[in-house]
Structure 1
Amino acid sequence: MVLIEAVRAEENISIGRPLKPGVYVPTLCFFDPETEDIDTESIARHTIRLAQAGVTGIATQGSNGEAVHLTHRERELVTTTTRSALDHAGFTNVPVIVGCGAQSVRETIELCSEAAEAGGDYALVLPPSYYATLFAPSSETIIKYFTEVADASPIPIIIYNFPGAVNGMDLSSDIILSLSQHPRIVGVKLTCGNTGKLNRIAAATRSSTTKNTHGSANPDFLVLAGSADFAIQSLIAGGHGILAGLANIAPKACIRTVELYREGKIAEAQRMQEVVSQGDWTAIRGGVVGVKSGLQSWLGYGGFTRSPLPRPTGEQSKAWKEGYRDLMALEKTLL
């Protein structure tokens, strides 16, 4: 019985679509402008556009995907639509990461199971924070939370460190490295912007015990920057790429910035990073409202966020469009 359980545990951590270094996109969720119902046609079209641009992977239910505005059933619909669009367009090898964070271990595991059933390959999980003042000590509570989720989840876990979304909770490199030892915790997204932390995690996990057999091109523990404005900085620090909302608007610029650095064309990468960083500042200030507005202004689709988020004023839309101007000019030059 023990041997059978060990074999099953080993099977449970197998990965069909490995995580590779590159540019990942936390994709947007689109709604009907009148009813606010899920617009599956736009989701599919946007997914294919990103895949054709060459992104490495796509994440649903991230901060840009308005997961907090969706029911469980709607989350499944978005992920199913995304996976189906990729497969039908011939991008069967592109992994889908699904945001699954919730305040309880029970619901997080439920979301992970639903994500797997909908075609998700990995679960992106924020730490719980609502009762953070009752965590004693916080590190022990967080480690227990991620461990219990990873033990029960049918798909591997990626830690999502985003202090702005969890009442300022910022996971230390010590906590993340401790969690990285779990065989089903396979990466981290660092939206905290701390490249020192990123460097410590990347350096330590390079020599960790191998979790998969996919070869050196697929790191055992994927370390991603959570924003496009420090893409090459994160690569210098040993990171593997980015999972950045700006790639919804300008995927080719994000990809080319990373490629130039890897090709050793540092000066060119730096110049492109400057344009990307300026565009990302517009995205950061406007949030998902501004990203959708920019997409609508420059590419003719995007629409609005779900209420209670506000619809942009004419002045806001004009300002955000202008903020993306240089970035979109760059994007149009890239094949």
Structure 2
Amino acid sequence: MQSLIGTGVALVTPFKGDFSIDVEALTRIVNFCVDGGIEYLVVLGTTAENATLDQDEKELVIATVVAANKGRLPLVLGVGGNDTRKIVAELKTRDFSDFEAILSVSPFYNKPTQEGIYQHFKAVSEAAPIPVIIYNVPGRTSSNMLPKTVLRLANDFDNIVAIKEAAGDLVQAMQIIKDKPENFLVISGDDMIALPIVLAGGAGVISVIGQGFPKEFSEMIRLGLNRKVNEAYKLHYMLADSIDMIFEQGNPAGIKQVFDALGIADAFVRLPLVGVDESLANRIAEFIDNIAK
């Protein structure tokens, strides 16, 4: 899966003032990422406010991204949840011809055991018509997919090709990297430790901040993959404050404020999320002004 090496971005879903989907803004974001050097795009991940989109809106997001991308970059589609039967049914009926892989989050709310997580992804693997990236994000799911479970899945199912590891734990990521099958990819799901994970043997990142600063962030990851450590860390430290800022008052409120400051999309988010406050909006705008100088 060479197409999943480097920087992928978890696209936001931009809204208009009436909270309908802003198709033109989403098209601008796709073009901004393509022009900025991003390697692939992730559609309908957590950052897309997937939980507050109805089925028609999800189909509109998919159609918009596919049309805007025009086949230029590989696409990954988020297909996950906490009802295994529902996910399996979608995997068996959806047309995945425009997509390179599926990103599937570990079940949330139910708090399954490690065996439950394994059996869930076993069912996903058996139903999936294209490769699967499993996604560990304990901060959202309330359960941590342990390295032994990840490695068991990686060894047992050929179409489980990668993990998006977002536990925020570099040591846990390194445990997976150390013992994984040769072709299994460890992809950072945390922007702040994406470069250290790459330097430890990871394959790249599925990023939030990368869509706001695609040129700088994707270059940082490429430098890391090429072991140009000093040059990569120079970019990392240049962007570090922005990473802190976009998560300070919740995702995707922060990254949407970046797009607002860039004039690409408005910062509207749907309840129960709210936009960032004036102080953070001003700091984000100041950061962008300084980057441009």
* Fold-level similarity (TM above 0.5): yes
Partner residue of 2:83 out of 82, 90, 104 = 104
Q: Which deviates further from its counterpart, 22-31 or 278-287?
A: 278-287
CA distance, structure 2, for counterparts of residue 264 and residue 312 of structure 1? 36
CA distance in 2, matches of 1:267, 1:231: 15
Q: Write the distance in 1 (CA, Å) between the matches of 2:177 and 2:3.
A: 15
Residue of 196, 201, 208 corresponding to 1:245: 208
Q: Kindly tell me: are residues 224 and 115 of structure 1, through their superposed partners in 2, closer, same or farther at Cα, counting changes over 3 Å?
A: farther
Q: Please name the residue that 1:68 is paired with.
A: 51
Aligned residues: 291
Deviation at 1:117, TM superposition (A): 4.3
User: Contact 2:131/2:159 (CA < 8 Å) preserved in 1?
Assistant: yes
Per-residue deviation, 1:115? 5.5
- Asked if 1:31 corresponds to 2:15, the answer is yes
TM-score, scaled relative to structure 1: 0.80
Decide which structure has the larger Cα Rg and report it. 1
Please tell me the residue identity of whatever aligns with 1:265: K
The structure 2 residue matched to 1:147, chosen from 116, 122, 126, is 122
Q: What is the deviation of 1:127?
A: 1.6
Deviation string 1:243-286 (CA, Å, 9 cap, x unpaired) is 11001210111112123334443222222111222211111213
| Cα distance between partner residues in 2 of 1:276 and 1:146 | 35
Q: CA-to-partner distance for each residue in 1:159-187, whole Å, 9 max, x for gaps?
A: 111011112x1111110011112112111
In the alignment, what sits opposite 2:174?
Answer: 199
Name stretches of at least 5 consecutive residues in structure 2 with no aligned partner.
none
CA distance in 2, matches of 1:151, 1:24: 25
Q: Which residue of 1 aligns with 2:269?
A: 305
- Paired with 2:94 and 2:232, the residues of 1 have a C-alpha distance of 36
Matched, 1:260 2:243: no
Asked if 2 retains the 8 angstrom alpha-carbon contact of 1:77 and 1:118, the reply is: no
Superposition pairs of residues 123-162 of structure 1, within 5 angstroms: 123-132=102-111, 135=112, 138-162=113-137
One-letter code aligned to 1:319: R
- Assess, with a 3 A threshold, how the Cα gap between structure 1 residues 175 and 295 changes in structure 2: closer, same or farther: same
Within-5 A mapping of 1:9-20: 19-20=3-4
The corresponding residue for 2:284 is: 320
Q: C-alpha separation between the residues in 2 aligned to 1:129 and 1:303?
A: 27
Structure 1 stretch 77-86 or stretch 170-179: which is displaced more? 77-86
Distance 2:124 2:133 in 1: 11
Contact kept? 2:13, 2:61, Cα under 8 Å: yes
**Structure-2 separation of matches of 1:39 and 1:118:** 25
CA–CA distance in 1 between the matches of 2:37 and 2:11?
14
Offset of 1:315 from its aligned partner? 3.3
Greater mean deviation of Cα atoms: 223-232 or 169-178: 223-232
Q: Secondary structure at the match of 1:242?
A: strand
Deviation (angstroms), 1:113: 4.8
The separation in 2 between residues aligned to 1:114 and 1:251, in whole angstroms, is 34
Q: Is the 8 A contact 1:191 1:226 kept in 2?
A: yes
Instruction: Determine helix, strand or coil for the equivalent of 1:183.
Output: coil
Residue 187 of structure 1: aligned partner: 162
| 1:236 equivalent among 199, 202, 206 | 199
What secondary structure does 1:158 align onto?
strand
Q: What is the alpha-carbon distance in structure 2 between the residues aligned to residue 103 and residue 234 of structure 1?
A: 28
User: Per-residue deviation at 1:101?
Assistant: 1.2
Report the Cα distance in structure 2 between the residues aligned to 1:154 and 1:226, rounded to whole angstroms. 24
In the aligned structure 2, how far is the partner of 1:172 from the partner of 1:307?
A: 32
Pick which of 190-199 and 247-256 moved more. 190-199
**Between the two proteins, what is the percent identity of the paired residues?**
23
| Equivalence map 1:30-69=2 (5 Å) | 30-34=14-18, 36-69=19-52
- TM superposition shift of 1:122: 1.6
Q: Structure 1 pair 191/110, CA: closer, same or farther in 2 (3 Å)?
A: same
Distance 1:20 1:121 in 2: 9
Contact 1:80/1:118, CA 8 A, preserved across alignment: no
> Paired residue for 1:213?
none
Moved more, 302-311 or 225-234: 302-311
Query: 1:141, CA displacement in angstroms?
Result: 0.8
SS in 1 for 2:180: helix
Residue 131 of structure 1 aligns to a residue whose secondary structure is coil
